[in-house]
Chain A
Amino acid sequence: MATVQQLRRKRISDGLTVTQKVFVRSRNGSAQKVVREHYLRKDIPCLSRICDICPNIIVPNAAGELPKFVLSETPQELQGLGKHYVVVDANIIIQSIDLLENPNCFFDVIVPQIVLDEVRNKSYPIYTRIRALCRDSEDDVKRFVVFHNEFSEYTFIDRTGNESINDRNDRAIRKTVEWYTNHLKGKGINIVFVTNDRLNRQAALKDSLVAKSLAEYVDMLPNSEEIKDLIPNLAPISGMSSKMLEDDPEGHGAAKAEFSFPEYYSTSRIMGGLKNGSLYQGSIQISEYNFLEGTVSLPTFKKPVLVLGQKNLNRAFNGDLVVVELLPQSEWKAPSTVTMDSEHFNVNDNPDNDGEDDEGEPSGVLDDSGAIMSDKDRRLLAQSAILAQKSNKVQPTARVVGITRRSWRQYVGQITPTSVDPQSSGTQNVFVILMDKCLPKIRIRTRLAKQLLNKRIVISVDCWPENYRYPLGHFVRDLGDIESAQAETEALLLEHDVEYRPFSKKVLDCLPKEGHDWKAPEDLTDPEAIRNDPLLPSRKDFRDKLICSIDPPGCVDIDDALHAKQLPNGNWEVGVHIADVTHFVKPGTALDAEGASRGTSVYLVDKRIDMLPMLLGTDLCSLKPYVDRFAFSVVWELDNDANIVGVDFTKSVIRSREAFSYEKAQNRIDDETAKDELTLGMRALLQLSKKLKQKRLDAGALNLASPEVKVHMDSETSDPNEVEIKKLLDTNSLVEEFMLLANISVARKIYEAFPQTAMLRRHAAPPSTNFELLNEMLQVRKGMSISLESSKALADSLDRCEDPNDSYLNTLIRIMSTRCMMAAQYFHAGAFSYADFRHYGLAVDIYTHFTSPIRRYCDVVAHRQLAGAIGYEALDLSHRDKQKMEMICRNINKKHRNAQFAGRASIEYYVGQVMRNNESTETGYVIKVFNNGIAVLVPKFGVEGLIRLENLTENPQSAEFIEDQFSLRFVDKNGVSKEVSVFDKVEVQLKSVLDPATSKRKAQLLLK
């Protein structure tokens, strides 16, 4: 029998006692007893402004600051609750963080420490969000406090003998509620405990505390109507722990037992399995062509393991960290050659009758969704399996048996019109199709279904019980009409996790007070100026140098400028001058924190999301012509063959003589009559840059391609009206070469000074498996091959891939090779050994980003480190700490990737808009052949599209897919037999269509 064991408490001094926390945990399969000291104190304040006791007990922290009393003396007053503060439990926070962040409800909230700890362990992102709410609670709209109940002598409780940890924690929360209730009793403020756990609520009521479920509480709010929709959607599940779910206001009815996913394995079984090697853990990638096919890369296997079909995927989302179990060898398959997306899959499922046949859907292609779905699913899978066996390219397959970490975030999507009942005006279940086509549709409950039709909306996923075919979520907010530029842009930014809100006041306060009137001091020895900026004397005055900048037309954030001058010994002095952003962005300020979290500026077709406020980016830092600006200069002495004789780094002040666009600079250089010194300097730069480029190519630098296009906007209506493929001039590469040179020189310098924490950028060599498919296609179709021995060999073999009849083929192969490459990444020098610093694409041993500090945070860090390396000013601690550098790198890598995706998605959207007005026939290239369609790239618009078999032929059954030849043979609509293979040049008809299911405009291609 369990006995109640009172742990020893020892009084140390007045208001401080110590006890021991004792628990047993399992580690590596064996039990381990853990004993930790636990101090209890009486000086933990309630943080309510109305309290007259707590202000006497508080003590300052290490910086001498006293805690701020945040909770209002006049909190929200509700019928039946009176003036009240809210205490929440962990599940409320985890499931309804959006609701807590909503500025129209939950004003005064107390988060007990035990709750915060649970949130932290379950979801770190939500923990940071709730912590941000507490941190920003000074602004008086939302007032959140953390009460350290576990450390307060009044509220700490010991676990009794027969109590589970969860029960003990629930009791600890109730104890906190009780303490607050008594503490503020005489002050007319009530405490409301909001929890969805019925047992906990009953226990609280028994102790005569006030407890409500989330729905009950929201009902009492004056603005409950608008808030109700934001309540998370949780299905009642029998057998699930009573903690999580219940209290569905109307009850979803008994869940249908007919459809059910396999249950996840228990934690202990997963732990055991991972340990003995029968289970594997990895992050799952859903194929972008087929949402029912996922791959998990595991270190134990050379090729990724396949996960095929809904049941095997078992509710995994793209990017989740999952645990998989291999299937028997008889079920191993090759990756499917079928394309499938969730948008066109099961369009007629009824959100109300999940998994059950429904009573006559309108406008159905398929009548009986449930049965057909799984059959179709199975048939397609079986088909590809047979094909796989034929070609003998089977891969191991696996099924998901557990999900370690969900990648759930907020998603953007739109309600499928077919799932809305136009007659009903009450709450109904509807489906939301997400923008990300690798994800399934989400079921939400809303009263606003009709209003939200044809709108882009933000939703959040709540849970995915095993007897629901689709995950459940709830509506968060409405972005605006589909295809309105504003809603689409916002959707795009949200979808790529780009922070686009205006800069906060705290950030703007860090800018120089003079604003646009800020001026670089006339005289660097002026004592007045030196008093303001003691580092001024160590700047060099380069205002006499003939410096100019060359950028794309219309560029306002100019971060680099150049100059060249012949030295008396015949060598060249070449200077690259980079905007001195770190003069304004000092480490540890709110401005720096904002820049670090944004990581990069994001360039969309019609919009730029800045990393730093406008004032800096486009004025004070921007190296505008004719004005004095601070710069960080790299000055080399180069000989006539562009070999580096010497290099010098210095902070400086410069005056740019002219801001050229690439084209203007090219004209100026080509203009033979121009003989002024500036032009001579530019010509010298051009000559030197050509030599630099040649050297780089000789060393094996790659020349890859991407189908990049530029969208022209009508200047009056700002409607997109033309698409153009980006042109490259000599001057483009002039600037590029010197930027590369500067980056390399700086990388060497900061690595020398900070061998552990220097901010660098690397590009790993691609593994040969990445190129397997491309090489095989080339071999079969064109008799060519790509060598992967070294970057030099790759570059040479790419050069050899020429088809005399088709000049574009080479570019096409380059585009396809680019997709096989690894992504370059930022890292700190301590993370890899020197040999792994290599930048494969540029063929240099060390590299960093230094030249665009206005738009990239990496460059800001590199600037600070270089300033430290040359002894200009001491380097901030955060850039000398490996862990912090690791965090910075991880963040900017992510942001960089997201920014690229967002930029591409924006171009894609606008290209769609352009094509809307001009339907045309263009030349395209087949880049992939599937069992049931072909993927075609149209270089002119840089668009890629899928032509389904249904659109190629009248008779899909007659089509034959010849896998080893990468071709598809079919009878076209005119009855002529045709065969299409990879790399074939085809004429396609291009038009832009609005997909009825997803309301997404995309290019539709039809073979001519």
Chain B
Amino acid sequence: MSRFEIYSPEGLRVDGRRWNELRSFNCSINTHPNAADGSSYLEQGNNKIITLVAGPQEPSSRSQVNTKQATLSVTINLTKFAKMERSKSSHKNERRTLEWQASLVRTFEKNLMLHLYPRTSIDVQVHALQLDGGILGAMLNGITLALIDAGIAMYDFVSGVSVGLYDTTPLLDLNSLEENAMSSVTIGTIGKSEKLSLLMVEDKVPLDRLESVMAIGIAGTHRIRDLMDKELRKHGKTRVENSSN
């Protein structure tokens, strides 16, 4: 039996949010202008993520050269201090990490105009400084911001969030306590559309409930898109002001 009321009959979650509320969301871009071509820092609840993009650049080895389009790679680094307990392994070659990397690559391959950059590679590194549930969604958002900062052509924002199902109630943007207590779905949406670029279901979710889960998830991603958009415009504005001075 869990020590907490995960979702109380009064409709409050373990951290005080209601079912359809996102966690606090903060982001900034161009945080590491000297270290990478594009970078972002993102806080989604207690998830803290730095994303660095290098490229388009010449591939380090010949074998990676693709004459048709750029080669996209994503490396995830879950730092050893990111969880409550210091972990011994670096999580580098864990199945789960590799799977995330693969699905992130697949998601962005569809959304980037890679054919504009043949014979190059675009390398994305994600460093998770702190983890608190729904990390895959947070990584989608972080990568989107860093890619925009790097100036790589893309069709639209990709924004992600996780949604859980507690009994019959869908809960938006799970933290780690909630994630451990219920099955969840991670959704990635393109822009303000209802097109899904990612749908990751790691546990079982009953098919007849999936629709309500996705509906609240899509609404959540749209809200995140707006927050990212606002930050980008603010950043753009200061940049324009700085350059004109």
Interface segment out of the listed A33-41, A452-460, A844-852 = A33-41
Closest Cβ of chain A: how far from B84's Cβ, in Å? 6
Contact between chains at B170 and A62 (CB < 8 Å): yes
Q: Which residues of the partner chain B approach A27 to less than 8 Å between Cβ atoms?
A: 85
Contact with A along B1-28 (1 / 0, CB 8 A): 1011100111110011111110110000
Given that A37-B132, A880-B206 are known contacts, is A121 also in contact with B18, CB under 8 Å in the complex?
Answer: no
Contact between chains at B175 and A151 (CB < 8 Å): no
CA distance A36 to B3 in the complex (A): 15
Contact between chains at A36 and B15 (CB < 8 Å): yes
Contact between chains at B15 and A877 (CB < 8 Å): no
Name the one of A38, A117, A131 contacting B15, with C-beta atoms under 8 angstroms: A38
CA distance A18 to B44 in the complex (A): 12
Contact between chains at A67 and B10 (CB < 8 Å): yes
Contact between chains at A131 and B175 (CB < 8 Å): no
CA distance A113 to B12 in the complex (A): 11
Closest Cβ of chain B: how far from A151's Cβ, in Å? 4
Tell me whether B230 is interfacial, beta carbon within 8 Å.
no
Q: Which residues of the partner chain A approach B110 to less than 8 Å between Cβ atoms?
A: none
Closest to A875 in B: B206
Contact between chains at A148 and B10 (CB < 8 Å): yes
Name the one of A16, A37, A63 contacting B45, with C-beta atoms under 8 angstroms: A37
Closest Cβ of chain B: how far from A597's Cβ, in Å? 17
Tell me whether A120 is interfacial, beta carbon within 8 Å.
yes
CA distance A39 to B12 in the complex (A): 10
Contact between chains at B15 and A120 (CB < 8 Å): no
Q: Which residues of the partner chain B approach A148 to less than 8 Å between Cβ atoms?
A: 8, 10, 12, 16
Tell me whether A135 is interfacial, beta carbon within 8 Å.
yes
Closest Cβ of chain A: how far from B208's Cβ, in Å? 8
Tell me whether B177 is interfacial, beta carbon within 8 Å.
yes
Q: Which residues of the partner chain A approach B177 to less than 8 Å between Cβ atoms?
A: 36
Contact between chains at B11 and A67 (CB < 8 Å): yes
Tell me whether A859 is interfacial, beta carbon within 8 Å.
no
Report the contact-size class of chain A (Cβ under 8 Å from the partner): 35 or more
Q: Which of A137-185 contact B (CB under 8 A)?
A: 146, 148, 150-151
Tell me whether A10 is interfacial, beta carbon within 8 Å.
yes
Q: Which residues of the partner chain B approach A59 to less than 8 Å between Cβ atoms?
A: 18
Contact between chains at A10 and B46 (CB < 8 Å): no
Closest to B26 in A: A10
Q: Which residues of the partner chain A approach B85 to less than 8 Å between Cβ atoms?
A: 27, 32
Contact between chains at A151 and B16 (CB < 8 Å): yes
Q: Which residues of the partner chain B approach A63 to less than 8 Å between Cβ atoms?
A: 168-169
Q: Which residues of the partner chain A approach B9 to less than 8 Å between Cβ atoms?
A: 131, 134-135, 146
Tell me whether A57 is interfacial, beta carbon within 8 Å.
no
Q: Which residues of the partner chain A approach B5 to less than 8 Å between Cβ atoms?
A: 116-117, 120
Contact between chains at B18 and A37 (CB < 8 Å): no
CA distance A344 to B176 in the complex (A): 56
Name the one of B4, B12, B169 contacting A151, with C-beta atoms under 8 angstroms: B12
Q: Which residues of the partner chain B approach A37 to less than 8 Å between Cβ atoms?
A: 15, 23-24, 45-46, 132, 175
Tell me whether A834 is interfacial, beta carbon within 8 Å.
no
Tell me whether B68 is interfacial, beta carbon within 8 Å.
no
Tell me whether A53 is interfacial, beta carbon within 8 Å.
no
Tell me whether A61 is interfacial, beta carbon within 8 Å.
yes
Tell me whether A626 is interfacial, beta carbon within 8 Å.
no
Tell me whether A124 is interfacial, beta carbon within 8 Å.
yes
Tell me whether A365 is interfacial, beta carbon within 8 Å.
no
Given that A10-B24, A12-B24 are known contacts, is A36 also in contact with B11, CB under 8 Å in the complex?
Answer: no
Contact with B along A851-887 (1 / 0, CB 8 A): 0000000000000000000000010010010000000
CA distance A61 to B24 in the complex (A): 20
Closest Cβ of chain B: how far from A25's Cβ, in Å? 9
Closest to B169 in A: A62
Closest to A19 in B: B16
Contact between chains at B84 and A61 (CB < 8 Å): no
Name the one of B8, B21, B46, B168 contacting A35, with C-beta atoms under 8 angstroms: B46
Tell me whether B115 is interfacial, beta carbon within 8 Å.
no
Closest to B166 in A: A62
Contact with B along A590-626 (1 / 0, CB 8 A): 0000000000000000000000000000000000000
CA distance A12 to B170 in the complex (A): 22
CA distance A33 to B85 in the complex (A): 8
Contact between chains at B3 and A121 (CB < 8 Å): yes
Contact between chains at A40 and B16 (CB < 8 Å): yes
Contact between chains at B169 and A61 (CB < 8 Å): yes
Contact between chains at B3 and A39 (CB < 8 Å): no
Given that A35-B46, A37-B24, A37-B132 are known contacts, is A146 also in contact with B8, CB under 8 Å in the complex?
Answer: yes
Contact between chains at A41 and B46 (CB < 8 Å): no
Closest Cβ of chain B: how far from A129's Cβ, in Å? 14
Contact between chains at B209 and A39 (CB < 8 Å): no
Name the one of B1, B10, B16, B132 contacting A39, with C-beta atoms under 8 angstroms: B16
Contact with A along B65-93 (1 / 0, CB 8 A): 00000000000000000001100000000
23 A-B Cβ contacts within 8 A? A10-B24, A12-B24, A16-B21, A27-B85, A32-B84, A32-B85, A34-B84, A36-B177, A37-B175, A39-B15, A40-B16, A44-B12, A61-B18, A63-B168, A117-B5, A131-B9, A148-B8, A148-B10, A148-B16, A877-B168, A877-B208, A877-B209, A880-B204
| Sample of 8 more A-B contacts, CB < 8 Å, known A37-B46, A40-B16, A877-B208 | A62-B170, A121-B3, A148-B12, A150-B16, A151-B16, A874-B208, A877-B206, A880-B204
Binding site for B on A (CB under 8 A): 10, 12, 16, 18, 20, 27, 32-41, 44, 59, 61-63, 67, 113, 116-117, 120-121, 124, 131, 134-135, 146, 148, 150-151, 874, 877, 880
**6 shortest A-B CB distances, which residue pairs?**
A39-B16, A151-B16, A61-B11, A62-B169, A62-B19, A18-B24
